[in-house]
Structure 1
């Protein structure tokens, strides 16, 4: 087999082959997320054929989403790596690149929803699934576009590098099976793992992880129950499929426009806030859904929910990169999407159980809406606390006696400076003339 040539670059190219990576990720999201969303159209067919209630039938969609996010099986072997590759090739225009790449989910839903309904009418649900399976084989083509790239990124700590270099020199004079060889391998492996998964120790990432659990719980049931809910209020099958198409095409608009807008200079520093805004508005849409019981009312709902769904999906990798950096982005994204698994597994059956128990969709939709709003409030509160802490540290650094602080406890002065960002660090240097950041 020929050896794979890795592209080498000191920084993300923000173009070039990166646009082919975006195209590949675009096709991947069509073949994975769009196809999964179309299971909502199969829901009524499954329920009728197998004569099961809402809660039992919902496990079909739940297991598909859960296995994708939880086990690294099936769609996950394509979805997560493709998203991570976009982050490797783009930095300055990352949000726009992700917006284009993730818009495949909306475009796929827009095109596939009426097509799947037509296929079910012509070939039954079994034939429709076979045809979709053949379409999904295009993932092999997408994989061929993913060319690896090596970036000059932050390395391990100098002390760890020194240990590895010293032991590597000694290793050349040792036998392959010696204790020194094993010790060097273990040390370097620990150094690599410590660097790759250090984000688990970041409080910001822990808060993001908890928030993702609530957000994922809320976002999943709509794609299972939108069509059944529309049918329950008197909308025809074709019109219900049209609602999914509308949601999909507006999802595209949200992906691209929100990605482009948040890349502008005026919003570049507020991408985190934009993400919170989009998640919260989707939650509010859920709270209004039980009052919408006709097609003219459900179409605006599909537009609004679809737009902000595309918006926050675009910003998930951007927010994750802001917290953990690009070095650990692949691993952190894997964890973030892994955390979607359990909510995706339990939320549609729980919503179905609520529908079976109460006889209406109101309780299910309200629970999903409050879950998404809580996700947004949690992240917003964490960011507010962090800013208050920075302000307090800045105040302490300016008000305290710099000479006394450095003389009596130099580690405290270093800790205060390290808590501040680069701009704050300049303020500390001005307030503390004797402070040397090196």
Structure 2
């Protein structure tokens, strides 16, 4: 009995192959979230080529973001039913096919299906949640730091892909850029192959304390193929989870707008295309600092019990940045906005799986993350088109105000 218990906790926890899992999850977030965010670089190209307004064009980004989150429970289900490895490999293949097919688009409606449905709901959704779940199964003490590094792929990807996408568009047109992106995203299949599940006999003997051994045992159970039916969804009725879920819905309603409209807003303010793309890069690289520094800080013993407070602080300061955004009408003023918003956005992104795990426990983390990212779906779907309508109203008000002042 004691031998069997020892074998269950003998997993490669807090190191070893776990860092390869972190690297794989890093590349998954690099592709899924960064590609989604960099669609804003294609925004003007789509608008000019198909001749549609802000709101209709914004549906492309909305559908990719929404469907990735809407189908997050599907990723959790396949990851639990079969394996996280299977889910990520399948998702990477479908996302690549969707991007390649998008390069042959003849209408916005075509892109709604290939980018929004095939790449977003089927491809990225199958990769995202299982990859994040795998990090939680390999780490206990260093969980926040591991998640911070893994989630920093989103920021690094945005930093690198935004100017790269702009250059690819200039050299090969938006069609060629999407075709190249499809080949690049196919590497998600390699990441999936590296996601080796923890088995009772894998890894050296555990050296973690008893408290961590309990978490490790629960983490091991959560990644078993048959755990979906066993673990249930009792966490859904817990008050702490309900409050956390409500905060995610409100947060998702506004956090994606700067990534959709920062580039077109900067262009409207007279910023050139390269500088506008640079703003997206700044968002990305500063987001990396938020990912890693908040992950490292909240792993400290003095803050480990106050991760929820750190999450609230990051979200509150991110919202404050959005309040002053309409006053920024030059590249020099938009740079500080990109720095501050990027930092606090990176902080909260890294803390989402951490605070979720703290609330529901490691046994329910896979299903809970599926629900959490599902709750992001509808705000991601509706807020960019609504923001596009208000963009016209605000831009019209701004022009009329300037004319009235000049006339006066």
For the criterion TM > 0.5, the same-fold answer is: yes
Output the CA distance in 1 between the equivalents of 2:220 and 2:179.
Answer: 47
Is residue 131 of structure 2 the alignment partner of residue 91 of structure 1?
Answer: no
**C-alpha separation between the residues in 2 aligned to 1:228 and 1:254?**
25
Cα shift at 1:12: 6.8
Q: Would the aligned equivalents of 2:219 and 2:362 in 1 still touch at CA under 8 Å?
A: no
What is residue 160 of structure 2 aligned with on the other side?
111
Alignment of 1:215-254 (within 5 A): 215-254=251-290
Distance across 2 between alignment mates of 1:358 and 1:100: 38
Report how many aligned residue pairs link the two structures. Answer: 323
**Native 8 Å contact 2:198 2:220 kept in 1:** no
CA drift at 1:360: 5.4
Cα 1:32–1:361 shift into 2, 3 Å: farther
Instruction: Provide the residue aligned with 1:405 in structure 2.
Output: none
Across the aligned residues of Structure 1 and Structure 2, the Cα RMSD in angstroms comes to 2.0
Q: Where does structure 2 lack aligned partners over 5 or more consecutive residues?
A: 1-6, 75-121, 200-215, 399-408
Q: TM-score, normalised by structure 1?
A: 0.71
Q: Distance in 2 between matches of 1:315 and 1:360?
A: 38
Tell me the secondary structure at the aligned position of residue 390 of structure 2. helix
Query: Is the alpha carbon distance of 1:360 and 1:142 closer, same or farther for their aligned partners in structure 2, counting shifts above 3 Å?
Result: farther
- 8 Å CA contact 1:53–1:356 kept in 2: the answer is no
Q: How far is 1:220 from its partner?
A: 1.0
User: In the aligned structure 1, how far is the partner of 2:198 from the partner of 2:182?
Assistant: 31
**Cα distance in 1 for residues equivalent to 2:267 and 2:322:** 18
When residues 241 and 10 of structure 1 are mapped into structure 2, their CA distance, relative to the original with a 3 A threshold, is same
- Checking the alignment, whether the CA contact within 8 Å between 2:137 and 2:220 is kept in structure 1 is no
Tell me what 1:20 maps to: 20
Counterpart of 2:238 in structure 1 is 202
- C-alpha distance in 2, partners of 1:85/1:361? 49
Query: Secondary structure of the residue that 1:85 maps to in structure 2?
Result: helix
Shift of 1:66: 1.2
Residues 112 and 298 from structure 1, CA distance in 2 versus in 1: closer, same or farther, beyond 3 angstroms? same
Cα pair 2:37 2:259 within 8 Å, conserved = yes
CA distance in 1, matches of 2:247, 2:41: 29
Structure 1 residues 62-119: Cα deviation after superposition (integer angstroms, max 9, x where no partner): 0111111112421011111000110111111100000000001111111111110000
Query: Which residue pairs with 2:218 in the alignment?
Result: 153
Instruction: Say if 2:169 and 2:177, in contact at 8 Å, map to a contact too.
Output: yes
Structure 1 residue 193 displacement after superposition: 3.9
In structure 2, how many angstroms separate the alpha carbons of the residues matched to 1:54 and 1:120?
20
**CA distance, structure 2, for counterparts of residue 290 and residue 241 of structure 1:** 19
Alignment of 1:166-315 (within 5 A): 193=229, 195-315=231-351
Alpha-carbon deviation of 1:10? 5.1
Runs of 4+ in 1 over 6 A off after TM superposition: none
1:129 to 153, 163, 178: 178
Q: 1:360 to 1:211 in 2, by over 3 A?
A: farther
Q: Secondary structure at the match of 1:327?
A: helix
Q: CA deviation at 1:272?
A: 0.7
> Could you tell me which residue of structure 1 aligns to residue 354 of structure 2?
318
Q: How far is 1:268 from its partner?
A: 1.4
The gaps in structure 1 that reach 5 residues or longer are 1-6, 157-188, 363-438
For residues 214 and 103 of structure 1, the distance between their equivalents in structure 2, rounded to whole angstroms, comes to 23
Alpha-carbon distance in structure 2 between the residues aligned to 1:303 and 1:220? 16
For the 8 Å contact 2:136–2:219, the answer to whether it is kept is no
Larger Rg: 1
Structure 2 equivalent of residue 343 of structure 1:
379
Q: Give TM-score scaled by structure 2 length.
A: 0.76
Q: CA deviation at 1:353?
A: 1.3
Match of 2:370 in 1: 334
For 1:179, the equivalent position in structure 2 comes to none
